[in-house]
Each structure stands twice: as C-alpha cells, then as structure tokens.
Amino acid sequence: MKTAIHPTYHKDAKVTCACGSVFTVGSTVPDIHVELCSACHPFYTGKQKIVDTARRVDKFEQRAAAQAQAAAARTGKRAKKEKDVARRKAKSEALGAEK
C-alpha cells in the first residue's frame, strides 16, 4: 500500500459565511468561505433571502422587460388578419356605395 497519498485532514477547519457566522468543521481545506450557512439559509431561518452575486436577477428582469416591450411592438398574425379583413370590408362597402 502506498504511503502519503491522502490529503492532510484538518480537524479544526474554519468555515466563514458571508453573513459573518464562523464555525469549525473537519476538512482537508483549512479555511472555507461560503455564501450561505445554517444561520442565514432561508430553509432554516424561515425568511426569504435572494442571493444575487452576479446580478442574475437584475439581468433577468431586464431581459423580461425588453421581451415584453418587443412583444407589445410586434403585430401578430391575428392582428394583421383583422386589419386586412377590415380593409377589405371597407373597400367592398365603398365599391357597393358607388353602384
């Protein structure tokens, strides 16, 4: 069996959360930084918290607003068809009035 192939195990590895909570666990990494822990996770606290490290929520809202604006500016097939029917009806009524 080979010797010295396993990583060093630290019994007192320090875990630091973004909320400021610090606790120790056993790990092969001496210092661990996390965004959520049991002190601030919504499942444990019962409070809703949005973690947006890369502005993903803002970007999604911008894309959704742009998509809604583009959809409002577009005229669909149904709107075009109704417009065409109204134009034909007005044209036929104008021709009928001339006779």
User: Is residue 71 a contact partner of residue 50, using CB atoms and an 8 Å limit?
Assistant: no
**What is 38-60 written as a DSSP string?**
TTT-HHHH-------TT-HHHHH
pLDDT digits (tens, 9 = 90+) for 13-46: 999 999 999 999 999 999 999 988 988 888 888 8
Are both 87 and 75 inside the same structural domain? yes
* 3 pLDDT above the threshold of 70: yes
Are both 88 and 59 inside the same structural domain? yes
Query: Whole-model pTM?
Result: 0.46
pLDDT band at 9 (very low <50, low <70, confident <90, very high): very high
Are both 45 and 56 inside the same structural domain? no
Are both 46 and 2 inside the same structural domain? yes
SS3 (DSSP) at 96? helix
SS3 (DSSP) at 3? coil
CA distance 35 to 53: 9
Q: By residue range, what is the domain housing residue 4? A: 1-50
